[in-house]
A and B are shown apart, each in its own frame.
Chain A
Amino acid sequence: MFSLLLLPPIFRAFISLLFAGAAFPLAGVMVLRMNLLQLRYTLMHGLLLGGALALALDLPSIPVYVLMCTLTVILILLLSRKGKLNMGISSAFLMVLSVALAAIITQAADVPSKDTLELLWGSPFTVQTGELAAFAVLSLLIILYTVFNFRTILLVFFDRDVALSSGENISLHETVMVFLIAFAVALSMRFVGSLLIDALLILPAVIALKIAGSIRKLFIMAGLMGLLTAVTGFMLSLVLDMPPSSMIAASSALIYILIPHRKEKKL
């Protein structure tokens, strides 16, 4: 199994996964607390459209995913802030539109069905060196943002009204967090496909939520759980010769079931 790791595509996939596993669940914590599950669902649909475009036009997938996520976020923010639509309605509108366009594009460009399946399940072993760098940069950005803005994140997480009364530029931080989430979703798509993005992003955060006794520990545990589930899933996929995305998702789900809820000590 370890000799397999020395093969360049597998090695690149493994290293990318280490970065994503440690950092993306931090964005997952933000998704959970800021109630952005709807947003990440819309992003996943937007990525299907991005993937269809990349396949139809034979473009590199990650730049198209990032561009698609950026456009989706901007559209949602514009619709919800300027258009006075709530995020749920604007997300639903964009989801339907994205999937419809993706279906039209794949049909019109005659994209092979095997390739379209990659959009749903991901393809980590095709990660290129440039894409590996993208994983590293985004992971570091997420970790550094969280460490250096921890107090502001606490404020936003605690209560939006209290945060706004503090005099901090909360809208700016919310926008930064939404974009970090969007980029994490975009890169996760490359690994686990649109169907299992939650395995890399959300489930480790949900596991951490079961056991962490503070917000600081929640972020740390989310990163550790992300690493644990990603490495476990990846190794299992090599041993069992199964798709990594499904193994990562299965590991996350299993760990979630096995780990009991933390009980608060009564003092």
Chain B
Amino acid sequence: MHTYLSSLSQGCSLELFNDGDLIFQSRGKWLHPLFEAEDFIRKSGRQYGNLTLHDSISGLAAAFLTIRLSVRAVNVDMISSLALELYRNYDVEVHYTKLVDRIKCITETMIKPSMSVEEAYRLLRKKADLTSGISLKIENLDFSYGSNKILDGFSLYLEKGDAMILEGDNGCGKSTLLRLILGLEKPSAGRILYDGKEERPPVGYIKQFSDKQDFPFTVREVVSLSLPSGRQDREGEIEVALRRCGAYHLIDRQFFSLSGGEMAKVNLARVLASRAKLLLFDEPSASLDREARENFATIMTSLSVTEMPTMLIVNHDKALSDLLPWPRRRLEGGVLV
């Protein structure tokens, strides 16, 4: 008999197998065992080609998370009909002991079967408070340059782990908004709350460098400047951040001699290494060619479903917006439209 079809070990709520060998088990509640399993797989750094799973209960939410683990077959003690249908839609082999109409859990109504796996996953991570982001609340912000009113009662709310694209024409105030969030400009009215407080936390910020400079910053130094003092294994962190952005080969190059695409990768590595909970991007694709833009979008999409910091991109590059599966809003006349 297949191991995943046998009973769960005493006290366990989930067991994960690869090629029939038990590789992970959890006694956790709700959806946490599935998040733990995901964490285990990621940290192991191994490719598991034949995963099977035994779960105590599976509603729609657990089904989405299980499918995201690329599990081939599941054995569930109690399964909802919605979850059963979803597993079958994704060609996952299902065995179950008890079938119920619904699981009594808020996620069963919150999650819709029509959602994509990534959409559901993001929502569930937020619900499980497993994002690294903070909430950002902007209330009735006014800002003018002289008599030129840029923001007129601008309000915006981003939940922890939200990612959003803010579009608008040149000069409509997108970059000014970022400068206000960063505290580089002061609003004439309104306020900005970071996780409910007025005190601004460290923010990961990517801006365009329009000029080539002659100071010899190496790529290693640029990434290292975002690592807070006292962080262990600085070299390791720099390497991981650069590898993730496909820029490790540039580590000893001069930052200001790089192409626009290479600079973008290094800047992204810099903010990733900072582990900031709020990331702001000012026209990040302005100097990118098609391939570099696609790479950038891939990394951003991955970031928005893994660490999930709160992210705001101001952008008027439609090609980048089309690549990112994030909500879009438009800034016009000093307000969101």
Contacts and interface: CB of A to CB of B under 8 A. Distances in A.
A164 interface: yes
Which applies to chain A's interface (DSSP): helix, strand, loop or mixed? helix
Query: Which of B207, B222, B225 has most chain A Cβ within 10 Å?
Result: B225
A151 B215 contact: no
B282 to A, nearest CB: 9
A81 interface: no
B225 A165 contact: no
Interface residues of A, number: 23
Contacts of B227: 151
Interface residues of B, number: 33
Given A157-B215, A209-B216, A213-B216, A267 B252 contact: yes
Interface string B255-285: 0010000000000000000100000100000
A260 interface: no
A214 B217 contact: yes
Contacts of B182: 161, 164-165
Interface stretch (B23-31, B82-90, B166-174, B196-204): B196-204
B253 interface: yes
A213 B209 CA distance: 20
Interface string B213-226: 01111101110111
Given A159-B207, A167-B201, A264 B217 contact: no
A161 B253 contact: no
Contact of B215 (A33, A167, A264): A33
B229 interface: yes
Contacts of A162: 205, 207
Interface in A196-218: 209, 212-218
B207 A161 contact: yes
Contacts of B200: 167
Interface string A149-185: 0010011011101101111000000000000000000
A166 B202 contact: yes
Contacts of B249: 267
Nearest to A32: B215
Contact of B224 (A33, A154, A157, A164): A154
Contacts of A161: 179, 182, 184, 205, 207
A216 B221 contact: yes
A221 to B, nearest CB: 10
A214 B253 contact: no
Nearest to B203: A165
B29 to A, nearest CB: 36
Contacts of A218: 215-216
Given A164-B184, A167-B200, A167-B201, A158 B217 contact: yes
A25 B52 CA distance: 65
A154 B253 contact: no
B20 interface: no
A158 B222 contact: yes
A168 B220 CA distance: 20
B183 interface: yes
Sorted nearest first, the 6 A-B pairs with minimum C-beta distance are: A167-B202, A165-B205, A154-B225, A165-B203, A214-B218, A165-B182
Given A159-B207, A164-B184, 15 more contacts: A151-B229, A154-B224, A158-B217, A162-B205, A164-B182, A165-B203, A165-B204, A167-B200, A209-B216, A215-B215, A215-B216, A217-B216, A218-B215, A264-B257, A267-B249
Interface of B: 179, 182-184, 200-205, 207, 209, 214-218, 220-222, 224-227, 229, 249-250, 252-254, 257, 274, 280
6 contacts: A158-B217, A165-B205, A166-B203, A212-B216, A215-B215, A264-B253
